[in-house]
Amino acid sequence: MLLADGQHAWLVTRHEDVRTVLHDRRFTRDVTGVRARLAGTAVSPARSVNLDGRPHTELRALVAKSFSLRRIEAMAPAVQAWTDDLIDAMEEAGPPVDLVAHLADPLPALAICELLGFPAADRDALSGWCDHITAVGAGPPDPDAWRELTAYIAGLLPARRGRPGESPAPDADVLTRLVHAYDTDRALSMEELLSLTVVVLAGGLETTRTAISAGLLRLFRHPDEWQKLRARPDLVGSAVEELVRYQPVIDVNRLQIATEAVRLGGQEIAAGDLVQISINAANRDATVFPDGDRLDVTREPNPHLAFGFGAHHCLGAALARLELRTVFATLLRRLPGLRPAVPMDSLSWRGGHVTIRLETLPVAW
């Protein structure tokens, strides 16, 4: 395939092959490093969770405890309360209501602010900064937005400093853990602390709000499946898995490069060749998902790759699942007559970002 910058890459679409690229050490995201090594030059890239191997695992470990299943499960009452409050406000406003503005945007913002230790009142400003820095195009992310966001984060650090030698509490927020790792353990630099915080924030905001609105639209477009959920709310868990399989929030992952010659799907990939995977194609591979082009909220098993695979499996997958299950279960219970308030073909999608999400989703009930 021809990339936007004129380079060529292998497009990987089969489920098995995509899994291989995601977890096989012969493929890496460190394109610059591999090219330098193959050219016989040395390069020492800055540590980043977007790289592979030790640099990635060291940084990921610093925030992993905040995303443990136990920690996320403990958030369930709060997520339910936020969801109920937001739907209360929807009902008070009266139909039609934009579900994106009233529910899909604010809920993930409230959840990720809680995990990070950010004031919930700042969520609109945080969302605005993230919108700018996640834009994709010819140039780098908006430098002003990046500078303002990292300055905001730096301003929160003094309040997160504990007593010397005191370890963070088991339920400590991400920022508190990172400050401890910086001050006490010298486990990361200030640049890495700020960058890692931004990655966690943007990931928690961008993907889940897209999954909520796009998932609901898919159910509207498949009224038989929507009716199944109305009749059997116990299917919400499998429905969430099917919705993220059917329409992954992110289709193409970060570009990767082969570190050595690899045979993949019957094709020889040379060392130094670029590789691009398609999550969407892998999630509809007929050898894994019978009738994969059909939305089926009862689908089992469902080994989709929407949250990635291997070392880069989405850190926030458990939180995203909790939010999605809570939203759909609560909407089904409280607004069983929920329906689109405008023709579905009239809805517009926002492009130019890592994810493609609905601008608005007017609903009635």
The closest of 357, 359, 136, 101 to 248, measured between CA atoms, is 357
- CB atoms < 10 A from the CB of 285, how many? 16
Residues in CB range of 5: below 8 A, 6 or more apart: none
198: domain range?
47-249+290-364
Q: Is residue 121 part of a domain?
A: yes
pLDDT per residue as tens digits for the range 254-277? 899 999 999 999 999 999 999 999
Instruction: Give residue 53's pLDDT.
Output: 86
Q: Is residue 31 part of a domain?
A: no
- CA-to-CA distance for 188 and 338, rounded, in angstroms? 48
Q: Is residue 67 part of a domain?
A: yes
pLDDT per residue as tens digits for the range 273-328? 999 999 999 999 999 999 999 999 999 999 999 999 999 999 999 999 999 999 99
**Average model confidence (pLDDT) across the chain:** 92
Residue 48 predicted with pLDDT over 90: no
- CA-to-CA distance for 153 and 144, rounded, in angstroms? 14
Ramachandran sector of residue 167 (left: φ over 0; alpha: ψ -120 to 50; beta: rest): beta
Element (H, E) at 17: helix 15-23
The domain tally of the chain equals 1
- At 33, the pLDDT band (50, 70, 90 cuts) reads confident
Residue 46 predicted with pLDDT over 80: no
Residue 253 predicted with pLDDT over 80: no
What letter would DSSP give residue 101?
I
Q: Is residue 201 part of a domain?
A: yes
* Least reliable range by pLDDT among 34-38, 178-182, 204-208, 225-229: 34-38
Integer angstrom CA distances of residue 37 from 50, 134, 359: 19, 30, 44
Report how far Cα 351 is from the mean position of its chain's Cα atoms: 16
The enclosing domain of 318 has a CATH number of: 1.10.630.10
- Looking at per-residue pLDDT, the higher value among 355 and 331 belongs to 331
- CA-to-CA distance for 99 and 94, rounded, in angstroms? 12
Q: Is residue 260 part of a domain?
A: no
The closest of 325, 106, 4 to 317, measured between CA atoms, is 325
Residue 364 predicted with pLDDT over 70: yes
- One-letter-per-residue 3-state SS of 302-351: CCCCCCCCHHHCCCCHHHHHHHHHHHHHHHHHHCCCCEECCCHHHCCEEC
Residue 356 predicted with pLDDT over 80: no
Q: Is residue 40 part of a domain?
A: no
pLDDT per residue as tens digits for the range 147-201? 999 999 999 999 998 777 788 888 899 999 999 999 998 999 999 999 999 999 9
Beta-bridge mates of residue 358:
349
Query: Which residue has 């309040």 as its token pair?
Result: 159
Q: Is residue 29 part of a domain?
A: no
- CA-to-CA distance for 83 and 77, rounded, in angstroms? 10
- At 45, the pLDDT band (50, 70, 90 cuts) reads low
Instruction: Give residue 192's pLDDT.
Output: 95
Instruction: Give residue 95's pLDDT.
Output: 96
The percentage of residues in the chain with a pLDDT greater than 70, rounded to a whole number, is 96
Tokens representing residue 211 in the block: 């999954």
Q: Is residue 266 part of a domain?
A: no
What letter would DSSP give residue 46?
P
- CA-to-CA distance for 186 and 174, rounded, in angstroms? 16
pTM, two decimals, is 0.93
What letter would DSSP give residue 102?
I
- At 137, the pLDDT band (50, 70, 90 cuts) reads low
Instruction: Give residue 350's pLDDT.
Output: 80
